[in-house]
Chains A and B, each alone.
Chain A
Amino acid sequence: MSVEERPSPAAPAEHRTTPDTAPGVNRRDGPDLTRWRGRATDPDADRSTAEQLSPEAVTRLRARSRALLGALLRPHRGTLAVTVALLLLQNAAGMAGPYLVMLGIDRGIGPLRAGDGGPLVAVAAAFAVAAAVDHAAKRAFLVLSARIGQAVLLDLRQRVYAQFLRLPVAFHERYTSGRMVSRLTSDLDSIAELVDGGIDKLVLAGLSIVSVAGVLLWLDAPLAAVTLLAFPFLLGLSRWFTRASASAYRRTREAVALVIVHFVESLGGIRAVQAFRRERRNQQIFMAVNDDYRRANRDAFRLIATYSPGIKLIGNVTVAVVLTYGGWRILAGDAQLGVLAAFLLYLRRFFEPMQELSQFYNSLQSATAALEKLAGVLDEPVGVPEPDRPVPLPTGPVRGAVEFASVTFGYRPGALILPGLDLVVPAGQTVALVGPTGAGKSTVAKLVARFHDPLTGTVRLDGVDLRDVADADLRRAVVLVTQETHLFGGTVAENIRFGRPDADDRQVQAAARAIGAHDFIAGLPEGYDTDVHRRGGRLSAGQRQLVAFARAFLADPAVLVLDEATSSLDVPTERAVQRALRTILRDRTALIIAHRLSTVEIADRVLVLEAGRLVEDGPPAELIAGGGRYAALHRQWRDSLV
C-alpha cells in the first residue's frame, strides 16, 4: 500500500506530471485518485516502527504479539486453569452422548425385549447426568471465560491508551490521530468480538477433535483408521487457510485504518469541506478507500467460503466411507450396529466444530492482526522517555533558569533546525524570541517543554538536564502555551482546571479574572459551566486562547513558554493580557514568541533568531538604538500600527 508513497529520487517532484499509480488501487474515478494523498516525507508514515513489511519483521511482530498475549493472560492463570478444567468436563459430558446412544442400542434393546428395563434406565440416568454436567460446566465456563476475556481487553485498552500518551510528540506527528483512534477503537473491537464469542468454540473444537479421535480408535480401530485418513486433508486445508487468511486479515486492518483516517479527518474539517465544496471529491476518495476495504473484506470472506465447504466435503466423504465400510464390517460380523450409529454421531462432533471454527477463525484472524498492530504500538520505543532515576529540581525561592548547551536539533535527518544553540536564561527573566518564520523559534519552545529531546547537547532547567527530570516535576515547572489551543469536551471551568486539577472554583475564576477572560466567560449562557463543544455556539479562536491562557496561569509554572499565544486576540484584550503578564511574570522565567512586537515590549531581553542561530541578544531598548535587525523589525512593526 505504500509503494506510491515512498519517495524515490527518480520520481519527478512536479505534481501534475507524476505518473505513479499503485497496483490494486481503484482507478475507476481516474488515475488522480491514487495520488491525492501526496508523497509523505517519511516513508514509515503509516505504521509504527515495528510494523515493517519484511518477512523477518512480520515474524518478529508475531512473536511480540504472542508475548503480549502471554503477559496479558498471566494474571489470570488461576482462573484460566479452572476454565480449562470446566472445558474438559464439558467436553467429557458432551462426548458421553453418542457413546450412551451406542450402549442404548446395543445393550439396552436386547434386555428390554427380554423384559429387563434396567440397562436402559441406567443409560437414561447417565444421559441425564451428562446433560446436567454439560449445562452447568458450559454456563460456568462461559461466565468465567468472559470474565478473563473482558479483563484482558480492559488491560489491553488501558495499556495501549497509556502507551499512546507516553509516546513522544514526534511519534504522533507521524502516526496521526486518525490512526491512533483506529487502533483504540476498530482494532480493539475486533479483539472484543473474539472474546465475546469464539474462544470457547475454538478450544472446544480442538478438544473434541482429539477426544473424538481417541474414542473412535477405542470403539473400533479399523473403522477409526479409515476415518483418520481424512486427517492429512484436514491438516493441509487448515494450513493453507491459516497462511492465506493471516495476510488477508492484515490487509483488511490496514484498509479499514485508511477509511477511518479519511472519515475522521474530513468530518473534523467539515467547515472547510463545505465552504470549498469538497464533498464530491471527498466522496470519490471515500468510495475508493471504502471500496478497497470492501475488496479486502471480500477476499478474506472468500477464503472462508472455500475453507468451510472444503471441511464439509472432507466430512461428508468420510461419512459416506464410514457408512459403507461400517456396514460392511457389520455384514462381516466384525462390528455391532450401535458402533456404527455412535460413529456417525461422533463424526458430527468431529467435523461440525471445525465448521464453526472457520466462522470463528475469521474473528481469530482479524483479532490476531489487530493484536499485532497493538503490539507494534506497545513496542514502539518511547523516544522521549521518563528518567529511570529522576533528579529532583533544586528548591528555592526563585527557580526556572533555562540553559541550552550546544543544542542541535532537526525534525528530519539532514535538515538541522538548530545547528548548535547556546543560551542561558537566568531565573525570573522575561525573554522575547523574534525572527522570521522557520528560524527555529517554536523548536526552541518545544525543546524547553521537552516535546523533543535535542540530538546533541543538553537543555537544562535549574542546572538539571531535562532528560533527568521526572515528567511530573517538569510539567509543574514548565508550561507551554501555543497558538493552537485545544479545549477538551466539558465545561469552561473544567478546561481551565486542566492546568491544576485540585483548584477550586474560586481559584479558577481568579485565574480567568487575572488575564481578563472573566467577562466573556460570565457572559456565556451558563457561565463557567458552559459546555465548550456542545451548546452550538463554539468559542471563537480568541476566546479559546483566553481560556488556554487562564489554564496556564492556574498551572502556576516557574517557566512559562508562550508561542504565539495571543495571535487571535484583539488589541484591547491583548493589552489586558500583557498588563496581566507584567504582574505575573515578575517572579517567573518566561520565553515569549510573538510576531506582534507589542508583546515583546514587556521583555527584559530580546533574542533574534535566524536559521537556528542567535544573531542579536540584548535589552529591547538597546537593540532598537543599535540599529540592527531587531531595530528594523521594530520600525516595520511601528509603521504597521495606526
Chain B
Amino acid sequence: MAPRGGRVRNLWRLRRYVRPHLAEYGWLLLAALAATGAGLAVPLITRRMVDGPIAERDPAGLLRLGALALLLGVAEAVLIFIRRWVQSSSAVRMEAAIRSDLYAHLQRLHVGFHDRWQSGQLLSRATTDLSVIRRFLSFGLMFGVLNVITYLAVAVLLVRLHWPLGLLVAASAVPLFLVSRRFSRAYLVASRRMQDQLGDVATLVEESARGLRTTRAYGRRPEMTARFSRDARRLHDTSIAKSRLLARTSAYFDLVPNLTLAVVLVTGAVAVARGQLTVGDLVAFVSLQLMLVWPVESLGWIIANAQEAMTAADRIQEVLDTRPAVADPPAPVPLPRATGARRLRFEQVGFGYPGTTGPVLRDVELTVEPGETVAVVGATGCGKSTLLSLVPRLHDVTTGRITLDGRDIRDLRLADLRRTVGVAFEEPTLFSMSVWENLTLGRPDADEDEVRAALAVAQAEFAYELPWGLATRVGEQGLSLSGGQRQRLALARAVLGRPGVLVLDDPLSALDVHTEALVEAALARVLRDTTALLVVHRPSTVALADRVALLADGRIAAVGTHSELLAGVPAYRAVLSAAPGAAPGAVPGATAEAVPGATADDPDGDPDGVDLVRS
C-alpha cells in the first residue's frame, strides 16, 4: 500500500475541477453553516421555553418563543434547499468535466496503450469510479467539513451548559474516531480489490459480448457462464467481506452515542436534583447531544466515501498519467502544402512491440516515389500490417525513421500527417453511425461530390440504396452489412478527398471476383497520382502496383516489378503464385494500367453477360 500522503495526492490533483466552483462552494458552505446554526438554535429555544415561560407560566412568552422556533425552522429548510439546489448542478458538472477529459485523453493515447488495456477496465473508470468521486465532491467533502464544524459548535455549547458533561460528550467522539481510522485502512484495501474485480467482470462481459457469435458457434455457453460465475462469485465474496467491516463499524457508531446518552441522563438528573442544572438545561443538553449523533455517525460513511474516492482517483490518474507515446512534437515542422503525391521513405526502420522480445521489423529500407504504388507482399504474420501502421504513426518506429517529403514524420503535427495519409485496415471498422458520418470520419467538411466520387471508386454506390440512403445507421448498432460491403465503405473512407499518401491493408480481400475487378479499375485511376503502399495477398491486386516489395522475416527481401520478382526471386513465387510451381513465364500484368484499364472503360458491360454484382 502506498503511503498516506500519496493516497490523498491523486484526489488532491483533481482539485482543478473544483476550482471553477470554488465561489459556489463558499456560498454553499455559508448556507450550510447558517442552516446548522438555525438547527442548533431550536434546542436552546426549548431550554428557554422550559426554564422561562413554562416555569413562570407566561403564555405570551410561550407564543413568542414558538414563533421564533417556527421562523428558524423555516429558515433552515430554505437554506438547505438553496444549498442542495446549487450543489446538484455543480457536482454533476464536475463529474461530466472529468469524464470528458478522461475520454479526450484516452483518444489521445497511442494504440499500444489500447492494445494493452482492456476496455472494460477503462469503462469502469469512466463510470463507476467517477460517480464515486462525484459523490465525494458533492456530499462527502461538504459534510466532512460541515460535520466537523457542527461537532465543534455543539461541543462548545454543551461545555457551556455543563462543562463536565460537555467534556464527556465531546470525548465520546474519540473512540469513534479510533474505530473509524482502523476501519478506513481495512476498507480501503477491500474497496480497491472490489473496484478491480468490478473491472474484471466488466472486461469479461465486454469480451463475451464481442465473442458472442463464436461462443454460439461452438456451443460454449456453459463454459462461458461458468467463467462468469467464477468472477461474479469472487466479487460477491469481496463485497461480503466489505459489508462485514462496515457492519462492525457502523454498529459501534450507534453504541457509543447511546451509552453516552445514558450517562448524560443519569449524571444530568443527579445535577438537576442537586440544583446545579435546570430541567430546561437538561432537555436542551439531551437534544443537542442527539444532534451530535449524525455528524459523528456519518464520519464513518464519509471516511469510507473518501477512501473510495481516493482509490477511484488513483485509478483515474493511472490513466491520465500515461503519456501518449505517439504525440505531437514540441516544435512541429510544417508539411509543405503541396497538393498531390508525396515521397514516402523508410530509412533503416526497425520496430518491436513493447514487451516482446524480438523486433517485428528490421532495417527496412524502402522508398515510394511521388505517385508511385508499391505493394508489400509476404507470408502471413511477416509484419506487413505492422509496417503499414507505422505510416500514420499508430505506432512509432523503434529505430530508424520514416520520412514524408524528406521530413521525419515524428517532426510533423499528427493532424497534418494523418490528414495526408488515407488508411484502410484489414478489418473495416464501421461505427454505429450514419454512412455519411462513417465516410467523413476524418473530413467532416467533405461535400457531397467528394463523397460520391469516393463511393464510386470503392464501387460502394449500394449505400445510396440503403433504406435511408447515406443517413442509414450502419455499424454494430445499425444495419448489418456484408463483409464485402463494409470493406468497400472502408475503402471509400480512405480515398475520400484524395489524400497525398494512401495506405491500404489488403483492401479487397472480402470482395467477389467481379466486384474486385471493378474496384481495381477505379482504384487504378486514383493511384495514378497518389503515393500508395498496399498490402496484397492476391496476385490480381498486385497488378495495381508499379513495384512490389517482398517482406520476409521483418526485412525487405527484394524490391522490383512484379515480373522481375516473379522471374528472379523464388521466395516471391512461392508467396504469390496460385498454383504450386506456376510457370514463371505466365507473366501478365507487366503494365499496371493495362489489365484493369480495359475493364474500366466499360464499367457496366460484363463480357460474359453475367451480372453478378447486386448488393
Contacts and interface: CB of A to CB of B under 8 A. Distances in A.
Contact of A632 (B87, B435, B476, B610): B610
A320 B66 contact: yes
Interface stretch (A208-216, A296-304, A459-467): A296-304
A123 B286 CA distance: 15
B477 A40 contact: yes
Contacts, number: 610
Interface string B551-580: 000000000001000100000001111111
Nearest to B247: A142
Given A18-B471, A266-B107, A308-B80, A142 B578 contact: no
Nearest to A138: B251
Nearest to B478: A40
A172 B386 CA distance: 32
A570 B426 CA distance: 13
A243 interface: no
A336 to B, nearest CB: 11
Given A525-B358, A633-B612, A120 B269 contact: yes
Interface string B184-215: 00000000000000100111011111111111
B311 interface: no
Given A267-B122, A290-B99, A302 B85 contact: yes
Interface residues of A, number: 199
A344 B482 contact: no
A316 B512 CA distance: 78
Given A169-B212, A263-B126, A39 B45 contact: no
B216 A316 contact: no
Contacts of B353: 535-537
A540 B385 contact: yes
A404 to B, nearest CB: 19
A317 interface: yes
Interface stretch (A66-74, A228-236, A276-284): A276-284
A276 B441 contact: yes
Given A45-B477, A138-B254, A597-B513, A263 B123 contact: yes
B111 A640 contact: no
Contact of B510 (A124, A269, A270, A567): A567
Contacts of B213: 169, 451, 482, 484, 486
A635 B612 CA distance: 14
A514 interface: no
Interface of chain B, main secondary structure: helix
B81 A571 contact: no
Contacts of B591: none
B434 A316 contact: no
A306 interface: yes
A87 interface: no
A617 interface: no
B360 interface: yes
B107 A282 contact: yes
A585 B467 CA distance: 41
A608 B579 CA distance: 24
B202 A185 contact: yes
Contact of A309 (B81, B356, B577, B578): B81
Given A38-B435, A161-B228, A279-B108, A637 B513 contact: yes
Contacts of B96: 290-291, 293-294
Interface in A534-560: 534-543, 546, 548, 551, 555
Contact of A142 (B251, B270, B510, B589): B251
Contacts of B73: 313, 315-317, 319-320
Contact of A172 (B42, B212, B483, B538): B212
A92 interface: no
B322 interface: no
Interface residues of B, number: 210
Interface string A201-221: 000000000000000000000
A124 B240 contact: no
A268 B74 contact: no
A316 B471 CA distance: 58
B57 interface: yes
Q: Which of A261, A305, A555 has the most CB of B within 10 A?
A: A305
Contacts of A134: 254-255, 258
A151 B614 CA distance: 54
Interface string A477-505: 00111111110110000000011010000
A395 to B, nearest CB: 18
Interface string A156-186: 0110011011100100110011111100111
Contacts of B512: 436-437, 595
A100 B477 contact: no
A35 B471 CA distance: 8
A72 to B, nearest CB: 14
B93 interface: yes
Interface in B435-461: 435-437, 441-442, 444, 448
Contacts of A150: 236, 239-240, 243
Given A309-B80, A309-B84, A327-B62, A128 B262 contact: yes
A548 B211 CA distance: 12
Contact of B207 (A108, A304, A489, A525): A489
A640 B540 contact: yes
A271 interface: yes
A66 B608 CA distance: 65
B69 A165 contact: no
B432 A636 contact: no
A147 B582 contact: no
B539 interface: yes
A166 B221 contact: yes
B88 interface: yes
B441 A324 contact: no
Contact of B112 (A294, A483, A536, A611): A536
A177 B467 CA distance: 23
Interface string A335-356: 0010011001100100010000
A286 B123 contact: no
13 contacts: A37-B473, A135-B258, A136-B251, A138-B254, A157-B228, A164-B209, A169-B216, A178-B477, A279-B104, A331-B62, A536-B354, A641-B539, A642-B578
Given A45-B473, A157-B201, A598-B578, 19 more contacts: A7-B467, A15-B436, A121-B266, A131-B255, A169-B216, A272-B431, A276-B423, A277-B441, A286-B100, A301-B89, A328-B62, A436-B515, A438-B615, A475-B218, A536-B354, A571-B538, A595-B516, A640-B539, A642-B542
Task: Please give me the 10 A-B residue pairs with the lowest Cβ-Cβ distance, nearest first.
Answer: A475-B219, A38-B434, A316-B73, A324-B66, A536-B353, A276-B442, A142-B247, A177-B209, A146-B243, A301-B88
